Amino acid sequence: MFKLLHFRQIICKMETKSPYFSPKKTRNFVKQQHVSLKASLLRKTSTANGEKSGLSSSTAVPIKSTVPEIKIEQLAPTTSNRKPRQSRKQIKVESSPDRAGPSPTCFPGERTPTKRDLASLVAQSPSKQSARIKIEDKSPLEAEASVKQAKWEPDNWRQILDNIRQMRQMMPAPVDTMGCDQFKDDQTVPAKIRRYHTLVSLMLSSQTKDQVNFECMQRLRKHGLTPENVVATDVAVLEKLIYPVSFYKNKAKFIKQSSQILLDSYDGDIPDTIDGLLKLPGVGKKMAHLCMRSAWNVVTGIGVDTHVHRICNWLQWVPKQTKTPEDTRVALEKWLPFELWEEVNQLLVGFGQTICPATNPYCNECLNATICPAKGKHGIRKTPIKREIKVEELEF
């Protein structure tokens, strides 16, 4: 009886204090062998008692060969402030040589395998190697074609763009006759002055209708729209000349400051780079890209104003809804072919002025009504579109 209690204490200490075992691992190991560790120890104890009492080895309970041998070594007792306990035991488990054991990297009762180097597994994967070989074997043209196929594009965007072209041909818009690029073809003034007129017109066009902007440009030209004359003009006079324009006080100040910079740094001409234009007060990225296209005939980006920003979001020409025109420009340039950058601003601005305004668009007269994602979401105007846009003669 004393020996049985002694072995029970050994089992408890083995499950709680051994550095090689945990209660969970010990139980799992015993379950795998389909035999209780306690029962095996009892059988071994009964066998030893039978030999001492003179019993024959045939009467003793045999022990299965699959049960590992347990060696118990006495360790030196440790001293501590706690209640004195019995000396710790170091348990060593040795499997029988004829038993097929698990891999040496993990414990037999451990369910979770040891972690391996993921990078080495990926490197050794034949599927990854074959995919890498296929990519490397592609020619530059094939690789570029595969990248283009993976590039995001909106649905039916070519059909929508063709329909917008047809509607723009049938219905002219104010931007076609009174836009900021109408001054680049005026042969009555030198080329340097024409480029300056284009820049000033763009600076006035921010949050202003084309009709109002065109009238202000006519008054400025009659007053004398040159950098030297603008610098010599008082700010109050400039404010009266551009009065109907939105933020006319700030714009009058910016135009005069920019004219002084042009005289000091560019000999009265405008910069021919985006960085140079952005350094001028009152000039943003939209104005800079439009100025490069209209004044220098160089396409550097898409000019995105409120019309282009709104229509691109309504047509879902951006992967997700954008909050600013600059975000729309970045998203649009990622997928729209470069050969369309020059005309997309003129097309969408005129389309937004005639058929697709911000409030109550003319969806019933739009050729894209069947495929437009925004049809009916912003109201539908039932009154007919004004087909003719008259440009009144202005008297100053």
User: CA-CA distance, 100 to 87, in Å (whole number)?
Assistant: 34
User: CA-CA distance, 161 to 281, in Å (whole number)?
Assistant: 35
Minimal CA–CA distance to 387: which of 362, 370, 367, 368? 362
The DSSP code for 391 is -
User: CA-CA distance, 343 to 302, in Å (whole number)?
Assistant: 9
Secondary structure of residue 92 in the 3-state scheme? strand
* DSSP sequence for 6-44: HHHHHHHHHHHH-SS--HHHHHHHHHHTTS-HHHHHHHH
Q: Do residues 47 and 60 touch, judged by C-beta distance below 8 A?
A: yes
* DSSP sequence for 94-151: E--TTS----TTS-TT--SPPP--HHHHHHH-HHHHHHHHHHHHS-HHHHHHHHHHHS
Tokens of 307: 């019309």
User: CA-CA distance, 83 to 32, in Å (whole number)?
Assistant: 36
Q: Do residues 351 and 311 touch, judged by C-beta distance below 8 A?
A: yes
The DSSP code for 200 is H
User: CA-CA distance, 50 to 359, in Å (whole number)?
Assistant: 102
Q: Choose, from 251, 256, 285, 286, the residue flagged as catalytic.
A: 286
Minimal CA–CA distance to 291: which of 187, 173, 181, 191? 181
User: CA-CA distance, 357 to 346, in Å (whole number)?
Assistant: 15
286 classed as catalytic: yes
User: CA-CA distance, 252 to 234, in Å (whole number)?
Assistant: 10
Phi, psi values for residue 310, rounded to 5°: -70, -45
Tokens of 144: 């570029």
Could you give the residue numbers annotated as active site?
286
